[in-house]
Amino acid sequence: MSGQLKSLPRSCPLGVCDGSGWISNPDDSVSPCDCRERRIQQARTRGVRSVLPEKYQGVSMDRPPLADMARAPETRTSVEAVAQFIAELRSNIAEGRGLWIEGGVGTGKTTLAMLVSKTAIEQGHSAAIYSLPRLLARIRRTYDGGAGELSYLEFFRRLTSVDLLHLDDLGAEKRSDWVLEQLYAIVDERYASNRSIVVTTNLQLAELEEQIGERTVSRLVEMCETLVLYGDDQRYRIA
């Protein structure tokens, strides 16, 4: 416990405790301050990408493209399923349930997934948000061992311990033994520790098994509710 306390900032963002993360009670006992969990969550995400890309920071069910998707017959059911998942997000994360969103290019998969991640962050959950190519590039950087860089093991620990891991464009990477090993290790660790994951992919099940391996896909199927988005490329509609 003392090691954790030393790593915490010495001021309380809520103005309640003395900065230690603990409150002294009249009976000489102590109780945790509400700021403590917030700081621990922040420490767990340090070194991983935990901020929504600027394009998605205003994502909402009340704004396009999601408002339009909620009315379109081909996407309405999936949007409603995501809305229900978000309504029960605290329990979904607590129980390690996730989402697998499959669909063609431009059908709104990433936007729906970003809404889940945005809601999780707003509720105070820790999150890591990556497109798969970006994540693999970030893992390779850990091998360089530059000053200030997390080691592979530390980055892996943080990536697999956050409350929600969001992986976009699963299957977009070039297949190799190294890629298969990295993906399996991440998914298997989150599977074993019952931690939520949200993934998006353009590939159907059989194609994804070929691309990232049957063992990884099997775990994702068990961990996630699967949604399939149909329809035209939303980006062309906007254009």
Stretch 197-213: mean pLDDT, rounded?
A: 95
Among the residue ranges 98-112, 133-147, 165-179, the one predicted with the least confidence is: 133-147
Count of structural domains within the chain: 2
Among the residue ranges 95-99, 196-200, 219-223, 228-232, the one predicted with the least confidence is: 228-232
Q: Does residue 28 sit in the same domain as residue 58? A: no
Which amino acid belongs to residue 174? K
Q: Does residue 159 sit in the same domain as residue 186? A: yes
Q: Which residues contact 75 (CB under 8 A, 6 or more apart)?
A: 69, 107, 108, 229, 230, 231
Q: Does residue 70 sit in the same domain as residue 40? A: no
Residue 1 has pLDDT above 50, yes or no: no
Q: Does residue 23 sit in the same domain as residue 40? A: yes
Q: Does residue 123 sit in the same domain as residue 102? A: yes
Picking from 10, 27, 45, the residue at the C-terminal end of a domain is 45
Q: Which domain holds residue 24?
A: 1-45
Q: Does residue 80 sit in the same domain as residue 180? A: yes
Instruction: For residue range 27-70, list pLDDT tens digits in order.
Output: 766 777 766 665 555 555 555 666 888 999 999 999 999 999 99
Instruction: State percent of the chain over pLDDT 70.
Output: 81
Q: Does residue 199 sit in the same domain as residue 128? A: yes
Stretch 133-157: mean pLDDT, rounded?
A: 85
Q: What is the pLDDT of residue 40?
A: 55
Q: Does residue 152 sit in the same domain as residue 203? A: yes
Rounded mean pLDDT of the chain?
85
Stretch 210-234: mean pLDDT, rounded?
A: 89
CA-CA distance, 220 to 222, in Å (whole number)?
A: 5
Stretch 23-30: mean pLDDT, rounded?
A: 74
How many alpha carbons lie under 13 Å from residue 85 in its C-beta half-sphere?
Answer: 29
Residue 8 has pLDDT above 50, yes or no: no
CATH of the domain at 207: 3.40.50.300
Q: Which pTM does this prediction carry? A: 0.78
Q: Does residue 83 sit in the same domain as residue 36? A: no
Stretch 159-175: mean pLDDT, rounded?
A: 92
Q: Does residue 74 sit in the same domain as residue 171? A: yes
Q: Does residue 32 sit in the same domain as residue 54? A: no
Per the DSSP assignment, residues forming a β-bridge with 130 are 167
Structure tokens at 87: 């309504």
Residue 2 has pLDDT above 60, yes or no: no
Q: Which residues contact 92 (CB under 8 A, 6 or more apart)?
A: 85, 98, 196
Instruction: For residue range 106-121, list pLDDT tens digits in order.
Output: 899 999 999 999 999 9
Q: Does residue 2 sit in the same domain as residue 23? A: yes
